[in-house]
Chains A and B, each alone.
Chain A
Amino acid sequence: MDHNDQHPHDAPHVVSYGQYVLIWLGLLALTGITVALAGIDLGRWVIVTALVIAAIKSTLVLNIFMHLKFEHRMFRWFVVITLATLAIFFILLFFDYAFH
């Protein structure tokens, strides 16, 4: 993506107030679910469910609040690369610690 193939002042994508409020309500609901699930004894699955829900919430924030969904594809690749890097750190670290 070049500077050259972009008009200097492309009108930015405007997200409506209603869309934002909807996402916010979704985030509140997901928070409620997380709290509710924490009360149930899921044993080892507690952390997995909590992290999955946190990931879903983050995806909403990233895509809508942070406009990632409406930006050029390249930004999404950047985010993926960063998250993949972090994931790899976790995985490789665990090859040491999980096998002690």
Chain B
Amino acid sequence: MATTAVETGPDFYHEPSARKGLRGWIFSTDHKRIGILYGVTMMVFFTVAVIIGLLIRLELLYPGKTIIDPQTYNTFFTLHGIMMIFLFIIPGLPAVFGNFLLPIMIGAKDVFFPRLNLLSWWLFLAGGVLALVSLALPGGPADTGWTFYVPYSVRTTTNVLPALMAAFILGFSSILTGLNFITTIHRMRAPGMDWFKMPLFTWSLYATGWIQILATPIIGITLLLVAIERWFGVGIFDPALGGDPVLYQHLFWIYSHPAVYIMVLPGLGVVSEILPVFARRTIFGYKFIAYSSLAIAFIGSLVWAHHMFTVGMSDTGMFIFSFLTFLVSIPSAIKVFNWIATLYKGSIDPDVPLLYVLSMIIQFCIGGFTGLLLGTLAVNIHVQDTYFVVGHFHYVMFGGTGFALFAALHYWFPKMFGRMYAKRPAIVAWLLATIGFNLLYFPMFFLGYLGMPRRYYDYLPEYTIYHQISTVGSWVLALGLLVMVVNLIVALRKGAKASANPWGSKTLEWTVASPPPMENFHEIPVVTKGPYDYSEYERPHETK
């Protein structure tokens, strides 16, 4: 579509007809405001969770007690997990970037259920506040690990109940977001935008929405059952009363494994979104990438028991789950091949979003490979519940999704805030973050292989050097994150005003002003081309 002159007028921050002040935000049903609200609240939870993570690493700098006692340590890794998973990464990209961008990317003025969208955010806030409140209540914060395994979660006197309730409320928030996005994508695409003209980020949000709908209720019922056990002693998971604790693990992971795909799929969508722009080439294998998102959502729902290989399942069950785990790597690999093919012979612009994407791809691959190792039964016996697992999931969730989130932040920052950030500090931050991240987590594979269990407060002296490298890595990473955040905050106030399309991208959100006006489009566009049409950049001799 031809680039039209972008109309002037108030942006959605300065919309004159909206309520004034704070009330205009916390009661707003505008998807962009809701996206920003999510972003701000998530930043708070993320910061707290990062600080807890740094304290955990500080404690592990030396064997024995360093700064905290064992009980506190247990609550720390529990909180770090709960906050990072339920308050940061699961809402993550969909809540902030999905909310802000999905309607604009498909040429709509908002999501299908704007008031439900606001409710989603209120539930998110309520869940987060409840989780934080549980820190202060008598009994102390939960110390069960974020996985709440029975029987300990039923017996411990710490504040498990508020944590369970918080997770339940957050699950509701997640479900409503998925419901909203699926309906929006089905019903509100602009004229001419058929399914295969949608941006790939939108495809990833669609696949993610289905997982949110079909998987989240299982954790809902499971956590409810733990609460009921604590209140009424019903005995569903209590061996003394005929219950099976392994059933709890099955039910827990039936959600929590697909949950990691809720976390990662939008990140993969972001990569597919950014690569064409900075390679000045259309994405390679659009349909394969679109379908692979659906395939990951589907197969990813079949692999949950690979978290349970050491609990005493039947051999048959173990073989099947191991096999399915290997299968799920295939659609992920398809994406990586397509990404590389997109870059190949492209006109590469190594700007900040692309740098984060490149780190992400490599780290995601490391995470993925170690996932295959974990999925191999013989290897799993040795490294289950060791630092190998901790390294693996941080590589996929943080190195993968987390870095994709940083990439998204640096890509869409000018669109969301109307300002451009300074490039050099951003690159310094990226370098520090990447180096720090890998220093922090790579040693964990060695630690795990050598037998260091996870969640342990103390360790044998022979593990010390790995822990120390890791802790130093955490400081480098934290420095990188700090530089990144400060740079972006400075840009909010002093950054150069951004044009509608500073990156020369082809998707619809770049056809409206930065930041967009309240209704996104003064006129709903009619779509005629695909989202990655960089044909004007093709070299003359190049054929498709």
**A–B contact (CB under 8 angstroms):** yes
Q: Say whether B189 faces chain A, with CB atoms less than 8 Å apart.
A: yes
Residue pair B320, A88 in contact (C-beta under 8 Å): no
What mask results when residues 62 to 100 of chain A are scored 1 for a CB within 8 Å of chain B, else 0? Answer: 000000000000100000011001001100110111111
Residue pair B189, A88 in contact (C-beta under 8 Å): no
Among listed B199-207, B309-317, B461-469, interface-contacting one: B309-317
Residue pair B186, A96 in contact (C-beta under 8 Å): no
B325 to chain A, nearest CB (A): 12
Q: Which residue of B lies closest to A95 (CB)?
A: B317
Distance A81 CA – B304 CA, assembled complex (angstroms): 19
Most buried by B among A2, A82, A88, A97: A2
Distance A88 CA – B218 CA, assembled complex (angstroms): 14
A100 to chain B, nearest CB (A): 5
Distance A3 CA – B188 CA, assembled complex (angstroms): 6
Distance A95 CA – B317 CA, assembled complex (angstroms): 5
Q: Say whether A4 faces chain B, with CB atoms less than 8 Å apart.
A: yes
Residue pair B305, A96 in contact (C-beta under 8 Å): yes
**Contact with B314, one of A2, A82, A96 (Cβ below 8 angstroms):** A96
Interface of chain A, main secondary structure: helix
Interface residues of B toward A: which range? 20 to 34
With a cutoff of 8 Å between Cβ atoms, the chain B residues found around residue A85 in the complex are 214, 301
Distance A92 CA – B325 CA, assembled complex (angstroms): 13
**Contact with A96, one of B188, B189, B194, B313 (Cβ below 8 angstroms):** B313
A84 to chain B, nearest CB (A): 9
Distance A4 CA – B527 CA, assembled complex (angstroms): 13
With a cutoff of 8 Å between Cβ atoms, the chain A residues found around residue B214 in the complex are 81-82, 85
Residue pair A95, B314 in contact (C-beta under 8 Å): yes
Q: Say whether A36 faces chain B, with CB atoms less than 8 Å apart.
A: no
Considering only residues 1-60 of chain A, those with a C-beta below 8 Å from chain B are 1-4
25 contacts between A and B (CB under 8 A): A2-B189, A2-B194, A3-B187, A3-B188, A81-B214, A82-B214, A85-B214, A88-B301, A89-B218, A92-B302, A92-B317, A93-B250, A95-B317, A95-B321, A96-B250, A96-B305, A96-B313, A96-B316, A96-B317, A97-B314, A97-B317, A99-B314, A99-B315, A99-B316, A100-B314
Contacts A95-B317, A96-B250, A99-B314 known; 4 new A-B pairs at CB < 8 A:
A1-B186, A81-B210, A95-B316, A99-B315
